[in-house]
Structure 1
């Protein structure tokens, strides 16, 4: 018996009709699709939020270069979006502070950016903090909503938080 069938069983002794089974199959397919979409990642799945995911990092020369996946889940475009970030070293001390400009972010658009987060090797970086939203401009966008609706995550050993 299929797992979804077991969850939606008919009362004992009553066979499931063909139309009921077809509806059940459709519901199971929709549930599987929703589960699959949710597993894609936070940078894609959160409407009404700006999501930032630290997706990768590698040492290039003497700097730690990070890959950030950013998504504007608002229904309005941002003409300019920027962050103040703080980088913590391996011991947890503040090592770098900088401004990061993501530029224009169309509504519903996911972008990937690569930038240097620290002037040291990535194994010497423990975390990145979004200290503040520096710039959040867009027609009909309340700048305060950008920080209030910002969600962060990390797929790597370097944490990303608010």
Structure 2
């Protein structure tokens, strides 16, 4: 009976470790998760996951907002703040005067500031869950 319980505990621990290893991103992943029109602004919601193996104390990205016609609407900085290793974080940015309907692409033009591992900007993976493309 004890052997069966110990075996079950061991298998559960191995399964949990394997699941965590599969879900942890390599590098720094950034997903444009949703966009919402709010009063006078477009709210962009990002899901950030740090898989660098060390905490990022501060991250600021230079972003370019491009409309559906391919015209640059504006260049701005998004400050993501601290991103602990292995812990997903959600960050929202309200862009005043921007129509979400007109937004076509968000270009991560570069890393403006990164306090943490040297590979902050090199290991950036970008995805989007909405019909606005996130690229870099």
TM-score, scaled to structure 1: 0.68
Q: Does 1:75 align with 2:53?
A: yes
Q: CA RMSD in A?
A: 2.0
String of CA shifts for 1:62-82, please: whole Å, max 9, x gaps: 211011000111111111111
Q: Does 1:64 align with 2:42?
A: yes
Residue matched to 1:155? 129
Secondary structure, aligned partner of 1:147: coil
Larger strand percent: 2
Task: Note the residue ranges of structure 1 that are not aligned, 5 or more in a row.
Answer: 1-25, 39-43
User: 1:1-162 maps to which residues of 2 (within 5 A)?
Assistant: 45-47=24-26, 49-117=27-95, 119-138=97-116, 141-142=117-118, 145-162=119-136
- Aligned pair count reads 120
Greater Rg, structure 1 or structure 2?
1
- 2:25·2:50 contact (CA, 8 Å) conserved in 1? no
TM-score, scaled to structure 2: 0.80
Secondary structure, aligned partner of 1:52: strand
String of CA shifts for 1:22-74, please: whole Å, max 9, x gaps: xxxx8xxx6xx86xx96xxxxx5413x10000000011112110110001111
Which segments of structure 1 move beyond 4 Å, counting only runs of 4 or more?
none
Larger helix percent: 1
Task: Note the residue ranges of structure 2 that are not aligned, 5 or more in a row.
Answer: 1-10
